[in-house]
Amino acid sequence: YKNPHYASGRTTMVHLFEWKWDDIAAECERFLGPRGYGGIQISPPNENLIIWSHQRPWWERYQPISYRLITRSGNEVQFANMVRRCNDVGVRIYVDAIINHMTGTWNENTGTGGSTANFGQWGYPAVPYGRNDFNFPHCVISGSDYGCCPDRVRNCELSGLKDLNQGTEYVRTQIVNYMNHLISLGVAGFRIDAAKHMWPGDLRVIFDRLHNLNTAHGFPSGARPYIYQEVIDLGGEAISRDEYTPLAAVTEFKYGMELSRAFQRNNQLRWLHNWGVGWGLLASNDALNFIDNHDNQRGHGAGGAILTYKQAKQYKGAIAFMLAHPHGWPQLMSSFAFTNTEAGPPMDNSGNIISPSINSDNSCGNGWVCEHRWRQIYSMVAFRNRVGNTAVTNWWDNGSNQIAFCRGNQGFVAFNNDYWDLNQTLQTCLPAGNYCDVISGEKSGSTCTGKRITVGSDGRASISLGANEYDMVVAIHAGTESRL
């Protein structure tokens, strides 16, 4: 369950938060496929409760009312079409699976597919679920439970959401059928939302009943779904992510928390020379890493001040480091712009999501940020694809916030987060020749729109990175995007 099954040469997933299925299919064909992205995490495709009382908040999609594939992102036909078109261009689809709970209790009780529910009776007729399918006695998790009481964290309601009992055969069957239906449609795996709130033993039973991936979508026979479990664990809680790593991969919230600290100068970059398990991070193959995600980019997630698109220069620096460093499997966030942390995606006054527009400079409009279309970010995806599993070598730093390192003889990257310029002749480990810096520009024919870097026969090059430049990174590699 720890292999993403990316098409060969691809390494990186992007979370297209709240995108519609037709728009994702188009983005696979016009951008993500050609640019070498490996996969997409999509928003929950199952029917969710409509919550107008909070103006359709982003978190209404985390309140299931059934497992029917009908949401504001589209219906089952559009879902299947998206998976087919993305797999056909080498881009995998991972489903955000909300299997811990159903809805909270609201005045509104209609779902995005028209299903209704009876919250007071724990009645979800569109599944169907009834009172016996939920944990008993009724209890709600309180803040102090996280530190003392694993049973309550698993058996009580998370923020008032009806808490399913995955210990019964009936509930397991409903969940497994939902996930196997998605596998039959060609998805490559799942994010298990709120995994901390479910018993590892129940999850193991559920995972082991999942079918192999669908070979008609290009997966090798016998391929198991890629599963990454959302376990927010920054330490100090009774439940540890180590209970979940024997099962499948786990979201590594420490990754983004520590890199956000470092790139905001609360830690010197030089300390990143041993980035990895030396920092208390999960083992590389167990870790799904990210700088920000849909929850902590809104500040109520774990870990304090997380870098987001709003702090663009530092954010691109942290993203570049994540993509340049071999540790773990990276996930990029692709957001809609927000100031209100409850707000849902751009929508018309009937509540329909407005599609991203694509500007002439390839950026997005209509309120979509499209970080995955930022040159500095997609260029580092190509860098990561190129350098493969080569090792970090020739680490250099200035004892402060200027660092540089090689990836085998395939790539070289340098960072300057000091208040003074970086001007050094450094070992790039690359073959002699001329390279375009893929951060300040890109290769255009036989010229560079940004910096041009000449590597000598000794592999050394003169690297300059001003403290006040637009970006704090220089990156060159042996691939066609950089090498002249």
Ligand X SMILES: O=C(NCCCOc1c(-c2ccc(O)c(O)c2)oc2cc(O)cc(O)c2c1=O)[C@@H]1CCCN1C(=O)/C=C/c1ccc(O)c(O)c1
Q: Do 230 and 195 contact (CB within 8 A), yes or no?
A: yes
Q: Rounded to the nearest whole angstrom, what is the least distance from the CB of residue 342 to ligand X in the complex?
A: 7
The amino acid present at 246, given as its one-letter code, is P
CA distance 479 to 484: 9
Quick one: which of 156, 194, 291, 319 contacts ligand X (CB under 6 A)?
194
**Does 62 contact ligand X by CB under 6 A?**
yes
Q: Do 304 and 257 contact (CB within 8 A), yes or no?
A: yes
- Comparison of 237 and 397: residue with beta carbon closer to ligand X: 237
Binding range to ligand X, per CB under 6 A, among 157-165, 208-216, 358-366, 380-388: 157-165
Is 193 catalytic? The answer is yes
- What are the φ/ψ torsions at residue 201 (nearest 5 degrees)? -60, -40
Q: Rounded to the nearest whole angstrom, what is the least distance from the CB of residue 150 to ligand X in the complex?
A: 12
- Comparison of 98 and 422: residue with beta carbon closer to ligand X: 98
**Does 243 contact ligand X by CB under 6 A?**
no
CA distance 179 to 439: 40
Quick one: which of 18, 23, 243, 295 contacts ligand X (CB under 6 A)?
295
**Does 159 contact ligand X by CB under 6 A?**
yes
Q: Rounded to the nearest whole angstrom, what is the least distance from the CB of residue 12 to ligand X in the complex?
A: 21
Closest listed residue to residue 230, CA positions, set 197, 267, 276, 189:
197
Q: Rounded to the nearest whole angstrom, what is the least distance from the CB of residue 232 to ligand X in the complex?
A: 4
Tokens 């009876």 found at = 118
Is 258 catalytic? The answer is no
Closest listed residue to residue 257, CA positions, set 286, 279, 230, 227:
279
Which residue in 193, 202, 258, 437 is the catalytic one?
Answer: 193
Instruction: Answer left, alpha or beta for residue 396, where phi above 0 means left and psi between -120 and 50 means alpha.
Output: beta
Binding to ligand X, residues 77-136 (CB under 6 A):
98
**Does 226 contact ligand X by CB under 6 A?**
no
**Does 26 contact ligand X by CB under 6 A?**
no
Burial degree of 130 (CB within 10 A; 0-12, 13-18, 19+)? middle
**Does 193 contact ligand X by CB under 6 A?**
yes
**Does 232 contact ligand X by CB under 6 A?**
yes
**Residue 216 burial (CB count, 10 A):** 10
Binding range to ligand X, per CB under 6 A, among 156-164, 277-285, 366-374, 446-454: 156-164
Annotated catalytic residues are 193, 230
Binding site for ligand X (CB under 6 A): 59, 62, 98, 158-159, 161, 193-194, 196, 230, 232, 295, 300
